[in-house]
Chain A
Amino acid sequence: MSANSTSLTSPTPSPMPDTGEPKAEAASPLGNVWRSFIKSRSAVIGAVIVLSILLIAVIGPLFLPYGYNQVDANSRLEAPSAVHWFGTDDLGRDVFARVINGARISLWVGFFAVTGSIIVGSLLGLLAGYYGRWIDVLISRVFDILLAFPGVLLAIAIVAMLGPSLENAMYAIAVINVPTFGRLMRSRVLAIKQEDFVLAAKAIGMKDRRILFKHILPNSWTPIMVQGTLNFAIAVIEAAALGFLGLGAQPPEPEWGKMLSDSRQYIESAPWTMIFPGSAIMLTVLGFNLLGDGLRDILDPRMKT
């Protein structure tokens, strides 16, 4: 979880990491970025939501009077009350405790899947963009094929192969998000490798690996971070979708999607078992979407839609 927080609490990555290069669109100092961040309503609201959920996920469970898996046969399907804020489910488990604990699962899945797809996608994109020729053709074709599947469908196919579990769902989500980052990185590399500072580095005989990791990678970071935030939202929804279909987290894990599918039988008699986990998913996704939109407008105006 601690690694998680580093990714989530640093919403303002430097658009121009210090690479010692004088080049590229006149580096905007961190202060400027911070000022425009504060001005961007969507970035601020998004950051507040994301940080709150992160805080809840980390320390929330410590303050709960009930465990997420604490069964109480005497209080089954109870409506929300002062004792059970979000009511109880069919096994008498406290829905509030389950939703709070579910935040840990969702953020963890999102973090793992997005980080994994950023690492793999960026490496493949770097190789494809820098070396070109057959490496580019091969990698780009793989991306095309992966993108030819509707995302959720490919995730379902992968989990169907590996067997249903939260871990496999994470892998599946990571895989389907790889091409997004791969293509983005490739296009950045193609643009940057023509820049004078890269040509100069080549001219003085710098090794490819050093050029790639010291010069090109740090200069491509901004759009990757922005896209990463937006894909975090997608990953959270996809994880919940897989859980909903019974392909992700398995009982008794308090995963939001799984909770929703369990609630289907009680829609009429106990709608709170459905309302709260669903709201939690929506709020999390909304937070990351707002933050991602805001960051995009601030850090990378060219990506603006």
Chain B
Amino acid sequence: MLIPVLIGMSIITFSIVHAIPGDPAKAILGDKATPEAVAQLKESMGLNKPMIVQYLDYVKGIMTGDLGTSFITKTPVAEEVGPYLAATMELSLAAMLIAIFFGMNLGILAAWKHNTKLDYTAMVIAIIGVSVPVFWLGLMEQWVFAQDLGWLPSNGRIDPRMAFESITNFYFLDALIQGDLEAFGNALQHIILPAIALGTIPMAYIARMTRSSMLEVMSSDYVRTARAKGVSEFLIIYKHTLRNAFIPILTVFGLQMGLLLGGAILTETIFSWPGIGRYVYEAINNRDYPVIQSGILLIAFIFVIINLIVDLLYAWVDPRIQYGKE
């Protein structure tokens, strides 16, 4: 299952350069390029070889960690992509934490107070949350919280004036390792707005799924029995119900990661967050095809891996699910 998907992904990303109408070398160099320069680039890109050979070369490159070299920075993509990936992972993780915490609790609240004003309010918040475009939400946040109120910074990962050395490219981890609480706080301030923008849509989906899945479980016999036995409402919800309501929630979580990674491109562009999404976006503007190609492949690869992890989590959450057995 995983192998054909990976092969298909590599074909699609390979096509990005090769499906450009006309001559990719010309498209890359622009209209004013001399025929010699075009010929040279063709040679260096291997565009003179048969298509199948080019594709196999491309796949061989990926397998050996060669993701191509950026036309703009002249640096191998594999070398420069590390910090961008770390920045995106940090942001996505923060967004997911927000989405899970608020989404699940909003859903639980709505299910617990089913058919009350609280339930309706929670669901109105959720349906609006599902419908708000992430890039607009980001701009609104910048306007209100950064420009107007001046509470939080609107750009970047950390104040550039701070003397902060990053070792792992994960700023929070680095700040903790170095015991630099000021840098930690500063990074936290920077991540709040983009993380909220990115986390809102998944939050809303998780809230809706949690509510419906909790409602289903809450009407089951064992919950009624627990209630009859006098188990506290808190334990019923967080221990008895939530665990069994978790499978559908987990599915939504897996699906939302795709939305999150797609949304990262938009969020990172708005908040000048130096992540993989912005890296790809700038490459598109610069027609930096190797970066576009590898960036998209990397994001898709991460998405596939996350879905694989979610599949494995199913079995962990619900031991009744077993893979490999009919």
Contacts and interface: CB of A to CB of B under 8 A. Distances in A.
Size category of the binding interface on chain B = 35 or more
Interface in A247-288: 247, 257, 260-261, 263-264, 267-268, 271, 274-275, 278, 281-282, 285-286
B20 A161 contact: yes
Nearest to B137: A278
Contacts of A163: 21
Contact of A285 (B133, B208, B281): B133
A140 to B, nearest CB: 10
A59 interface: no
A119 interface: no
Nearest to A285: B131
Interface stretch (A82-90, A121-129, A147-155, A182-190): A147-155
A156 B4 contact: no
B7 to A, nearest CB: 8
Nearest to B299: A153
Nearest to B277: A153
Nearest to A142: B8
Interface string A224-249: 00000000010001001100111100
Interface string B3-28: 01100110011011001110000000
A160 interface: yes
B8 A260 contact: no
A260 B138 CA distance: 11
Given A141-B4, A144-B4, A161-B19, A149 B300 contact: yes
A289 interface: yes
A145 interface: yes
B266 to A, nearest CB: 6
A274 B262 CA distance: 22
Contacts of A290: 127
Interface in B251-293: 258-263, 265-266, 269-270, 280-281, 284-285, 292
Contacts, number: 133
Contacts of A210: none
Nearest to B120: A41
Given A144-B5, A153-B299, A247-B284, A281 B266 contact: no
Contact of B131 (A160, A161, A233, A247): A233
A241 B209 contact: no
B303 interface: yes
B199 to A, nearest CB: 15
B116 interface: no
Interface string A134-175: 000000011011001111111011001111000000000000
B136 A281 contact: yes
B143 A267 contact: yes
A10 interface: no
A305 interface: yes
A282 B147 contact: no
A131 to B, nearest CB: 20
Contacts of B130: 289
A269 to B, nearest CB: 10
A247 B281 CA distance: 10
A39 interface: no
B140 interface: yes
A255 to B, nearest CB: 13
A144 B308 CA distance: 13
Contact of B303 (A150, A237, A268, A281): A150
A280 to B, nearest CB: 10
B132 interface: yes
26 contacts: A42-B127, A141-B5, A141-B8, A149-B258, A149-B303, A150-B300, A150-B303, A151-B259, A152-B263, A154-B12, A233-B131, A237-B133, A240-B135, A241-B135, A257-B133, A257-B135, A260-B136, A260-B139, A264-B270, A267-B139, A267-B147, A274-B143, A278-B136, A278-B140, A281-B133, A289-B127
Given A267-B142, A274-B136, 19 more contacts: A42-B127, A144-B4, A150-B262, A153-B300, A156-B265, A156-B296, A157-B12, A157-B16, A162-B21, A245-B281, A267-B139, A271-B143, A274-B143, A275-B140, A278-B136, A281-B133, A282-B128, A286-B131, A305-B212
